[in-house]
Structure 1
Amino acid sequence: MSKETVFFYHTNDLHSQLSQWPKIVHYLETKKVLHEDRNEDVLFFDLGDHADRVHAITEATSGQGNIELLNASPVNYVTIGNNEGITFSKDSLDHLYDQAKFDVIVANLFNENHVRPSWCVPSRIHTLQSGTTIGMLGLTAAFYPFYTELGWVIEDPIVTLERELPVLKQQCDVVVLLSHLGYFMDERIAADYDIDVILGAHTHHRLDPAIEVEGTLIAQTGKLGTDLGKITLQIDQRQVTAKEGTLQSIDAVAESSLATEAVLERLQQSADASFREGVAVLNRPLDISWTEPSTFASFLVEYLRQWCNTEISMMHSGIILASLREGAVTKGDLHRICPIQSILVSLK
């Protein structure tokens, strides 16, 4: 068969807006059945920042709940975003994908000894029914100081791309970049490198339709699961002859995956139980002010100074949303007043 059509469906930057996930999964499952019934090739992707510790399930499970939800979907391939990469400890990230039923593709992350983590691969090749091969390379944003302090080595994505792309192109017919680099970096890569499709993320651009730059199709779905992306590739003699990308509004999806809703409910109940656990007892209130010096801010910056072994420490008081009363403090209290960053270490 010389002519064929392949379909990609992709999500990015869900940021643990997990209430959207049952509808997303229902839509993906419906499309999977549709294309398989038609004997068409279809692949499903997530481009990172699926996990965000702002959600109780993600915080309580160190992201494992997100992996369970991804496992319950048709997703085949993912790359990591900065939320997976630098908001979890090294040990947590090293075990985040232990139970994953999908492939994690990221080429520019290494252990301190420059050995690639066992839970990811730099690239993957998927063979369609016709024999046409789809080569996928994953790259994530290089937040150098954070990755270094966590015990990782993050490589310049362009350096990685120039090393890995020529090797991949020799092995496959169609090249897809799984990018958590942001739209502006995707534009640069599209202009300078021979890539068929860039499935993008990170900067929360909503591209409908997907944008073509120097022959490369760039797609991105925005953020928080409001939209889902669809790519259609026309292939003739193992060469891409036409490509387009559109978005599907999740608000317009009428049904949800009941199985996913059940998993979500179970994970929420477990998170609620975990958040009832006590972590400290305060003998005085810790008050926060966003405009004046306050006991809570002073308490945190002093512990931050000791923890980091510095002479001076600073924090933005706005990250603390409320004061803490005298008495028992639970994990849930800490997450409620500071959902974007755990302060458990300081209170201990």
Structure 2
Amino acid sequence: MKEQIRILHINDLHSHFEAYPKIKRFFEAQRQTEAEVITLDLGDNVDKSHPLTEATSGQANIQLMNELGIDLATIGNNEGVGLSKAELNSLYDRADFQVVLGNLTDQSGRPSWAQPYHIYETKAGTRLAFLGATFPYYWTYEPNGWQIEDGIQALERQLAEPEVREADFRILLSHLGIRVDEAICHKLPAVDLIIGAHTHHVFEEGETVMGTYLAAAGRYGEYVGQIDLVFDNGQLEEIVIEAQPTSQLSSQKTDATFVEGLASQGRTMLAQEKIFNWQQPPTLQGSAELVLEAMRDYSGADLAMVNTGIVVRPFERSLTRASLHASLPHQMRLVTFELTSLELLAICQDVFSQAELLANQKIRGMGFRGERFGQMMTSGFTYKNGKIVYNGKVDKETEKKTLVLVDQYYFAPYFESLNQKNGKYRGDLLFPDLLRELVEKYLKGKA
């Protein structure tokens, strides 16, 4: 018996709701078919840079996913480490869909809101095994209270499960990135179809590697994915993979109003909570100095360093959660280092040798939501003429000191001496608060 199955999917929305109305209409239109329709989200839907996501800790995203009719989803790092553990544990409380995730646990085992795989039986009796995995950022999941496993190792175990092994077709919801997906094609031929995410790649007409089909739909809702499958008595007979650019989908007059309404709703909710009042609003430099103070207070570090571009705009005189979010929209946390004076000097030489070059450079990625890098600022010390100065005196101390930075420097390749991939210095990531959250707590403590 022949049957048609249509899979619709999105990934890496990152709370970019600009194309959401188009995606919703596309989903509705593609459901007008004789095919059995299954809708998927591949993770990184949530991003606290959007005011409504911030105000609701991602709950608004889940409601919008419900309205899209999502059936199955996995998580990305924005859900897994962009949210605190408590926020993630409650994120899917009102979800009308199942989360599929096989490589995340904690000390109590698998989280209650996820299952490692889901067996979907079609009306004609074809059994589709959906598996899910997210990229294993060990350095950030573990301090957040999670135990993350290599995606391929987790999949090997799940593929050996009788239900999965005996299914007619196995589909991976992958937030592992294209290179890991390609490795899975070589190592795990039992996976029939990989729908990919994380690295924001696009396969407009699909790909095939070692007999495994690959689909992916970019980022930010710039594409929406459609996969049409034909089965005959449980055997795949035909597959067509597409990624449709949403720019080619028709707009309606109400789209912009809807999208702005989401942001406006978030700003209104955030504006209801007052944080701090100044007699005179701080300048950009003054705002950055306050960020440095808050970083040292939160971490207990001796020293701090940050770029002024972190502050997108100076703090308003009457600071609310809404205006603080506009000033610090980043999804960043802090990282501390225990350093000798010589190690700190080497880091300063690296950082300040590039400071002038970076000052006007546009920065993207790794949680940065500003415009330019800006000037480097320090707290607890100054760096002058190739020397470190504490309290007006050149450093001659030998004991170690603690330096606190934003994790952007640790994960992005701005400074070789600090980059985690080089492994030169081991940093300790601080959870659960994001940068603006710890600044908010600091300022409330001063009020």
Correspondent of 1:307 among 280, 287, 298: 298
Q: Which residue of 2 aligns with 1:204?
A: 200
Q: Which residue of 2 aligns with 1:165?
A: 159
**Could you list the runs of 4 or more consecutive aligned residues of structure 1 that deviate by over 4 angstroms after TM superposition?**
255-258, 260-269
Task: For residue 315 of structure 1, give the secondary structure of its aligned residue in structure 2.
Answer: strand
Per-residue Cα deviation, 1:151-208 (whole angstroms, up to 9, x for no partner)? 1111111221111122153241100000011111111111211211101111111111
Q: Which residue of 2 aligns with 1:6?
A: 5
The unaligned stretches of length 5 or more in structure 1 are 289-293
1:241–1:313 distance in 2 versus 1, CA, 3 Å: farther
Contact 1:174 1:196 in 2 (8 A): yes
Matched, 1:47 2:46: no
CA distance, structure 1, for counterparts of residue 328 and residue 81 of structure 2: 17
Counterpart residue type for residue 62 of structure 1: S
CA distance, structure 2, for counterparts of residue 145 and residue 193 of structure 1: 26
1:14-25 matched pairs, under 5 angstroms: 14-25=13-24
Task: For residue 114 of structure 2, give the secondary structure of its aligned residue in structure 1.
Answer: coil
Deviation at 1:310, TM superposition (A): 3.6
Contact 1:196 1:240 in 2 (8 A): no
Correspondent of 1:233 among 229, 233, 237: 229
Deviation at 1:209, TM superposition (A): 1.2
Structure 1 window deviating more from structure 2 (301-310 vs 216-225): it is: 301-310
1:268–1:321 distance in 2 versus 1, CA, 3 Å: closer
Deviation at 1:275, TM superposition (A): 2.4
Correspondent of 1:324 among 306, 312, 315: 315
Correspondent of 2:325 among 331, 335, 342: 335
CA distance, structure 2, for counterparts of residue 267 and residue 246 of structure 1: 29
Matched, 1:244 2:244: no
Q: Which residue of 1 aligns with 2:278?
A: 282
Deviation at 1:41, TM superposition (A): 1.6
Contact 1:23 1:257 in 2 (8 A): no
The unaligned stretches of length 5 or more in structure 2 are 332-434
TM-score by length of structure 2 reads 0.70
Deviation at 1:318, TM superposition (A): 2.4
Q: Percent identity?
A: 35
Please say which structure displays the higher CA radius of gyration. 2
Q: Which residue of 2 aligns with 1:345?
A: 438
Q: Which residue of 2 aligns with 1:89?
A: 84
Structure 1 window deviating more from structure 2 (100-109 vs 142-151): it is: 142-151
Deviation at 1:213, TM superposition (A): 0.5
CA distance, structure 1, for counterparts of residue 237 and residue 267 of structure 2: 51
CA distance, structure 1, for counterparts of residue 322 and residue 65 of structure 2: 25
Counterpart residue type for residue 134 of structure 1: L
Per-residue Cα deviation, 1:231-261 (whole angstroms, up to 9, x for no partner)? 1223233222332311112122225698x99
Counterpart residue type for residue 298 of structure 2: W
Deviation at 1:298, TM superposition (A): 3.4
Q: Which residue of 2 aligns with 1:291?
A: none
Q: Which residue of 2 aligns with 1:125?
A: 119
Counterpart residue type for residue 119 of structure 2: I
Q: Which residue of 1 aligns with 2:132?
A: 138
Q: Which residue of 2 aligns with 1:182?
A: 177
CA distance, structure 2, for counterparts of residue 263 and residue 88 of structure 1: 25
Counterpart residue type for residue 120 of structure 2: H
CA distance, structure 2, for counterparts of residue 188 and residue 241 of structure 1: 25
CA distance, structure 2, for counterparts of residue 233 and residue 192 of structure 1: 24
How many residues align? The count is 335
Structure 1 window deviating more from structure 2 (154-163 vs 312-321): it is: 312-321
Matched, 1:64 2:59: yes
Correspondent of 1:152 among 146, 151, 158: 146
1:237–1:312 distance in 2 versus 1, CA, 3 Å: farther
CA distance, structure 2, for counterparts of residue 344 and residue 284 of structure 1: 23
Counterpart residue type for residue 266 of structure 2: A
CA distance, structure 2, for counterparts of residue 84 and residue 301 of structure 1: 27
Deviation at 1:285, TM superposition (A): 4.2
1:299–1:140 distance in 2 versus 1, CA, 3 Å: same
Counterpart residue type for residue 319 of structure 2: V
1:284–1:171 distance in 2 versus 1, CA, 3 Å: farther
Deviation at 1:100, TM superposition (A): 0.2
| Higher normalized contact order (CA 8 Å, seq sep 6+, divided by chain length) | 1
Counterpart residue type for residue 296 of structure 2: R
Deviation at 1:221, TM superposition (A): 0.7
CA distance, structure 1, for counterparts of residue 256 and residue 3 of structure 2: 35
CA distance, structure 2, for counterparts of residue 41 and residue 155 of structure 1: 33
Counterpart residue type for residue 161 of structure 1: L
Contact 1:29 1:74 in 2 (8 A): no
Deviation at 1:263, TM superposition (A): 7.8
Deviation at 1:306, TM superposition (A): 3.2
